[in-house]
Structure 1
Amino acid sequence: MGERFGNARHSKAVELANAINDTIYELGLRCIGNAGELKNRFEVAIIGYGKSDDQVESAWEGPLAGKWVVSIKNIFDYPLGVSDDKPVWISAYAMRSTPMTRAFENAKRLCNDWIRWGNHKDCHPPIIINITDGAATDGGCNYKDLLNEVNQIKTLGTNYGGVNILNIHISAQSGDKILFPSEVPFTDSLSNLLFDLSTPLNENMVRIAKHKGYDVSNNSKGYVFNGNATDLINFLNIGTPQ
């Protein structure tokens, strides 16, 4: 994530942090009621693996540091700081390793605990958005460990459907971008793997994607390869209920 993002002067890590901060801000705006109050319509966790090699931890910083799932109201109550007159919550980090299996293991634990708590069985299922620029460094032989964790996540769900798993691959390879494919159009093993890990877009995601101008169908998967900055922002928006 330390390399430059396309033709931008900043790194992939900076672009990603900016996109996540902007998406959190937009989520909060969607939760403002008619009286101007911020309603608790979302709960968010950010799992990071860029601060130190082989470590997976909550990416929240400042007053939220160390917390995992945080309500949107608490998120807006405790930003890390302000940039361009908007609150921000996370900073950019980039290290060499990509412990993706550990990240999905943590996501599985968080999703399972969230689904079992209170009345969440009657809520929209959790959405996991994985953004990476490289292969898992802890995936095991033929990525068996990674596949095992993700397949376990796919067994989880609420009364409204299974957990959604979306992947965006910020590739260093040249070539055309591929957005929300419905079949495997790739020749390299990592792209095929991330495509297989992704779940199909649900009905609401298809609607949002079409509204944003993407050519999608009910069989399209939540996977983007080589997307640009606009696609990154749109991907995060498509992956969050509206």
Structure 2
Amino acid sequence: MSDKFGNASHDKSKEVANAINELLYEVGLRCYSGDEVKNRFEIGIIGYGKDSKVGSGWEGNLSNKWVVSIKNIFEHPLGNEDDKPIWITPIASGSTPMKQAFDNAKRLTQDWINWGNHRECHPPIIINITDGEATDAGNNYQDLINEVNQLKQLRTNYGLVNILNIHISGKNADRVLFPNEVSHLNNKFSKLLFDMSTHLNENMVRIALQKGYNIPNNAKGYIYNGNAVDLINFLNIGTPQ
């Protein structure tokens, strides 16, 4: 995440932090009713890579929390940049324990679904952002595959969990956006991320089309070599409107 993001003046970690902060801000604005933010979303941020560990990505007053309501998120920003609140700052270090991160996501998702009336809610959406290959995936990636397949089986009464992946890169060419097949890719791990991704639902397709993407039948929530704009759009496409 320390490499430059395409032609951007700063690195990938900064672009990722900017995109996540922007998404949190937009989600919160959608939840305003009068002067109050209604608890219409609950969001977790899992960071992986720093010191080869997996942990909560929240900072400041939200540090060490896992799933936080949008109301509490808006009550505890880390600070402000460009007259907008921010909640996370860029971090780029360590390895890529992706299997461990998905195991963490699975346990959080299970707990969330089994709490209160969440089985009557929209199924959770897992958005994985990475610029490198998993370092704990096991032989032929099987450990990672098994973890993701277990996560894919979790569901609420309104459907199965959604898993979206974006493989960001410093390259400006060979962008692959929401494909339905990736036989042309020579990168084995990129093909794995495609396989790990679930298909876009009708609402995601609608938003993607509105943003100008060409969406084929049976498109998956996957981007390869996306740029900074794709990253921001990807997060919005993956979030219920």
How far is the alpha carbon of 1:218 from its aligned partner?
4.3
SS of residue matched to 1:76: helix
Matched, 1:117 2:115: yes
Residue 236 of structure 2 is matched in structure 1 by 237
Contact 2:4 2:170 (8 Å CA) reproduced: no
Residue 85 of structure 1 is matched in structure 2 by 83
SS of residue matched to 1:57: strand
Residue 145 of structure 1 is matched in structure 2 by 143
Matched, 1:169 2:180: no
How far is the alpha carbon of 1:175 from its aligned partner?
2.9
Residue 157 of structure 2 is matched in structure 1 by 159
1:193 maps to amino acid:
L
1:25 maps to amino acid:
Y
How large is the RMSD of aligned CA atoms in angstroms?
1.1
Residue 58 of structure 2 is matched in structure 1 by 60
SS of residue matched to 1:48: strand
Matched, 1:101 2:120: no
Distance 1:125 1:145 in 2: 24
Instruction: Map Cα deviations across residues 149-192 of structure 1 (whole Å, 9 max, x no partner).
Output: 10000100111110000000013556321100011231210110
Matched, 1:27 2:27: yes
133, 136, 156: which one aligns with 2:134: 136
SS of residue matched to 1:214: coil
Instruction: Map Cα deviations across residues 70-123 of structure 1 (whole Å, 9 max, x no partner).
Output: 000000000111111111000111113001111101100010000001111110
SS of residue matched to 1:145: helix
Question: Higher relative contact order by CA 8 Å / sep ≥ 6: 1 or 2?
Answer: 2
Q: Extract unaligned runs of 5+ from structure 2.
A: none
2:229 maps to amino acid:
T
SS of residue matched to 2:147: helix
Instruction: Map Cα deviations across residues 178-227 of structure 1 (whole Å, 9 max, x no partner).
Output: 10001123121011000000000011101110111111144000000111
TM-score (norm 2): 0.97
Residue 13 of structure 2 is matched in structure 1 by 13
Distance 2:172 2:40 in 1: 40
Contact 1:203 1:218 (8 Å CA) reproduced: no
Distance 1:7 1:172 in 2: 8
2:151 maps to amino acid:
I
Residue 39 of structure 1 is matched in structure 2 by 38
Residue 75 of structure 1 is matched in structure 2 by 73
- Taking only the aligned residue pairs, the percentage that are identical comes to 67
Q: Extract unaligned runs of 5+ from structure 1.
A: none
Of residues 109-118 and 213-222 in structure 1, the stretch that sits farther from structure 2 once superposed is 213-222
SS of residue matched to 1:53: helix
Contact 2:6 2:171 (8 Å CA) reproduced: no
Contact 2:5 2:169 (8 Å CA) reproduced: no
Relative to total residues, which structure has the larger strand share, 1 or 2? 2
Contact 1:99 1:138 (8 Å CA) reproduced: yes
Residue 194 of structure 1 is matched in structure 2 by 193
2:200 maps to amino acid:
L
TM-score (norm 1): 0.97
Contact 1:206 1:217 (8 Å CA) reproduced: no
SS of residue matched to 2:16: helix
